[in-house]
Structure 1
Amino acid sequence: MSALPLSRMRSITWTVLAWSGAVLYPGFLFVTVSNGHGGFEGLEVLISAALTVLVAGLLLRRPVAAHAILALAWTAALMEMPNGAVAGLYLLLTDLGAGYIAATRRRRVSVPVAVLTGFLQVAAVASFMFPSGVFFLTVVLAMLVTWMAGDALRVRWAHAEAMRAQATARAVADERLRIARELHDMVAHSIGIIAIQAGVGGRVIDTQPAEARNALDAIEATSRETLTGLRRMLTALRKDDPAPLGSTPGLDGLDRLAEATRDAGVTVVIRTEGERRPLPPDVDLSAYRIVQEAVTNVVRHAGADECRVTIGYRDGELDVEVADDGRGGVVGTGYGLVGMRERVALLRGEFAAGPRPEGGFRVAARIPLAGR
């Protein structure tokens, strides 16, 4: 049987000491105030203070029980020594105990505790003196203010905890969406290319073996590239640190994208406007993924032989446009357009997609660069 951890042993020791002090506390306090020397002198004061600290420590774990012990012990002490000093300590300690319960427990617990404590305070003080109405009002207000302060702290802590929980849930949701977008953009394009190449190879395998072999080579290259990307992504997800999901492609990879798309039967014409310059990594990745997804849609849905990709480097923004002369595509279905729109929205940009008046389909994004 393994030994208890040091932290566990410390916790057990502290609990035993605290409850031992709680059991001894009422009796020792009563003896202290009735020792015949006016009370609170010499060693009795030190021991009483130490036991008070131990009992107060129980407030951290058993606040209601610790508060009841404090209240009963000091009520008995006040009955034995009815003077102003004992009454002041009694009111102070019980008010603080009720305030702590208000800060750490719900109102259905703290309100009855505060009411009973206040009633006990008034009854205990009234038993040995005849205070004025102002004094009684002061005692009640002190308890009310202490309870309200504790309850306000509880509400503030609860609100802060709720905000932290919401922030955590939002971060998890954002990360899930990010992973979903990366998986979709990485896999959808490759699977689309593979499906088309497989269809081409199946149709010409008997009549054009060389063409079928080219299709198989393209399928192998595309599948290997996709498998490598998935492995990088899974490796990044297994790490403890929030590392990027594998490699981060950018607009420099558009030529390779165009080559793979050309093997699938669609020619991609790339045009650059403005002076080409380095982009922030998130903008570079998003621009590439937008082009990749738009080109994939052209391959899968447009029925066009060509599409045009325009990258515009403007002052303070990047323009991305993918247009074709095909059947016009399908708006509002699947995750491709949703993912593109989300990427642009995260970068505070503008996104538009829809059929062109002259025929075909157009995807356009405007991503701001200023202030990034």
Structure 2
Amino acid sequence: MNALTKPDRTIAACGLALYPFALTLPLFGSSNAEPIVRALGIALTAVLLVGAVRRAPLLGLTAILLGTVVAVALVPTPAPWDDDGARQTTLFAFVSADMALGHLVAVRPRREWIVGITLSVLFQAGAIAGFAHPPDLIALNVIALLALLVACMVGLRARERRQHAAALRGQAVAEAVTAERLRIARELHDMVSHSIGVIAIQSGVASRVIETQPAEARAALEAIEATSRETLSGLRRTLVALRRAEPGDQAPLTPGTGLADLDRLVAETGDAGVRVDVVREGEQRPLPPDIDASAFRVVQESFANVVRHAGTDTCRLRVAHGERELVLEILDEGRGAAAGSSGTGFGITGMRERVSLLHGEFSAGPRPEGGFRVLARVPLPGGER
């Protein structure tokens, strides 16, 4: 309620101030008006208090109850109608108070709407007792009570729907935060793991040949420097993208990464001591950015696992561009199961998550004939699988 703007507060105050004056119009505007017309006029006058009911529901309800009771007490008796008929029919004006009570129940804490229910019961029961004949008391009280219960039930239903919608929004926010956290984790893992693998291999080479083969050691150190600079540049781009991204905006963490960078990745893997034989099938064509980036990351992580765990100096990459799907297959003849033990398993998990988000199929495991195989099938837009 406190979120209302200044114009809303002004409208609420003006409505509250004009209500007593507008209430006199249905009372004294015409001495020959039928009681039901007066009752509708009194009820409709409460429209002025909509702003007050929105800002302070309990205050608005109290104002409507007071105004309605006063109107019932002051309504003039038209000549064609008897006193009881006029006053009893005018009690229809309490319908606006019931609507305000329903809103109070829907939006305010329990202690406030319990106070509102109590006030409604007291005001309406008092009005009925003061302006109705004894034979009509029970019927009028029952009608008033039923109307009040209906208003409360409608308010409770609206309250449940609001709470359910809030719970769904909270769940959606939590899921979005988790998904974004996992996305960032995958990007950082894939970005760093390959580079660290290259650096580890090259530093090992440099330490072994630094005295006997200075030229080869120098080449290894240069490869370490280049890889380190590239990794730092990628991390810097990631941090800039995260700082600039708007809430809920999935800004690309590594702009431009895709299968077009395969040649560079193959060269880096070769520098790390693993020669990659690349087999391309089908007609190469531009891919959607999300598929292109994810395909590159799957290949990058697979190469990193081969470098770190396979214990082999060769592997094979097959990139098949079909009409309906993109197929990536990475094979090696190394130690097999060891190639899948990427630390705590984040590498394989990250690849599986990437492919799953694209509604594709992913498998990774030892080959019966030895070595390890990674296979990813990603459906392409416009093709049914």
Give 2:252's aligned residue: 244
Which whole-Å CA distance do the structure 2 matches of 1:246 and 1:322 have between them? 23
TM-score (norm 1): 0.83
Structure 1 residue 352: Cα displacement = 0.7
**Is 1:368 aligned to residue 379 of structure 2?**
yes
Q: Which of 95, 114, 120 does residue 98 from structure 2 map onto?
A: 95
* RMSD between aligned residues: 3.1
TM-score (norm 2): 0.80
Q: How many residues of Structure 1 are paired with residues of Structure 2 in the alignment? A: 352
Structure 1 residue 153: Cα displacement = 2.0
Structure 2, unaligned runs of 5 or more: 31-37, 76-85
Which whole-Å CA distance do the structure 2 matches of 1:162 and 1:304 have between them? 52
CA contact (8 A) 2:46 2:96 kept: no
Larger CA deviation: 190-199 vs 118-127? 118-127
Give 1:316's aligned residue: 324
CA contact (8 A) 2:106 2:159 kept: yes
**Is 1:57 aligned to residue 51 of structure 2?**
yes
Give 2:184's aligned residue: 179
**Is 1:160 aligned to residue 165 of structure 2?**
yes
Larger CA deviation: 264-273 vs 143-152? 143-152
Which whole-Å CA distance do the structure 2 matches of 1:339 and 1:74 have between them? 67
Deviations 1:321-362 (A, max 9, x none): 111111112348331011000001101111111111111111
Q: Which of 103, 124, 129 does residue 126 from structure 1 map onto?
A: 129
User: Using a 3 Å threshold, how does the CA distance of structure 1 residues 285 and 104 change in structure 2: closer, same or farther?
Assistant: same
Which whole-Å CA distance do the structure 1 matches of 2:6 and 2:168 have between them? 35
**Is 1:147 aligned to residue 155 of structure 2?**
no
Q: Which of 282, 302, 311 does residue 310 from structure 2 map onto?
A: 302
User: Using a 3 Å threshold, how does the CA distance of structure 1 residues 106 and 112 change in structure 2: closer, same or farther?
Assistant: same
Which whole-Å CA distance do the structure 1 matches of 2:129 and 2:184 have between them? 69
Amino acid at match of 1:63: P
Q: How does 1:273-284 map to 2 (within 5 A)?
A: 273-284=281-292
SS at match of 1:273: strand
CA contact (8 A) 1:181 1:339 kept: yes
Give 2:369's aligned residue: 358
Which whole-Å CA distance do the structure 2 matches of 1:39 and 1:13 have between them? 27
Q: How does 1:260-279 map to 2 (within 5 A)?
A: 260-279=268-287
Which whole-Å CA distance do the structure 2 matches of 1:255 and 1:223 have between them? 19
Structure 1 residue 257: Cα displacement = 0.6
Which whole-Å CA distance do the structure 2 matches of 1:18 and 1:134 have between them? 34
Structure 1 residue 263: Cα displacement = 0.8
Deviations 1:253-300 (A, max 9, x none): 111111111111111111112222222221111111001001100101
Which whole-Å CA distance do the structure 2 matches of 1:29 and 1:196 have between them? 87
Which whole-Å CA distance do the structure 2 matches of 1:109 and 1:162 have between them? 23
Which whole-Å CA distance do the structure 2 matches of 1:113 and 1:8 have between them? 25
Which whole-Å CA distance do the structure 2 matches of 1:348 and 1:123 have between them? 67
User: Using a 3 Å threshold, how does the CA distance of structure 1 residues 363 and 115 change in structure 2: closer, same or farther?
Assistant: same
User: Using a 3 Å threshold, how does the CA distance of structure 1 residues 170 and 299 change in structure 2: closer, same or farther?
Assistant: same
Structure 1, unaligned runs of 5 or more: 1-6
Structure 1 residue 246: Cα displacement = 3.2
Give 1:104's aligned residue: 107
CA contact (8 A) 2:294 2:355 kept: yes
Give 1:4's aligned residue: none
Which whole-Å CA distance do the structure 1 matches of 2:293 and 2:204 have between them? 30
Structure 1 residue 73: Cα displacement = 4.2
CA contact (8 A) 1:319 1:367 kept: yes
Which whole-Å CA distance do the structure 2 matches of 1:361 and 1:161 have between them? 47
Which whole-Å CA distance do the structure 2 matches of 1:103 and 1:12 have between them? 21
Give 1:326's aligned residue: 334
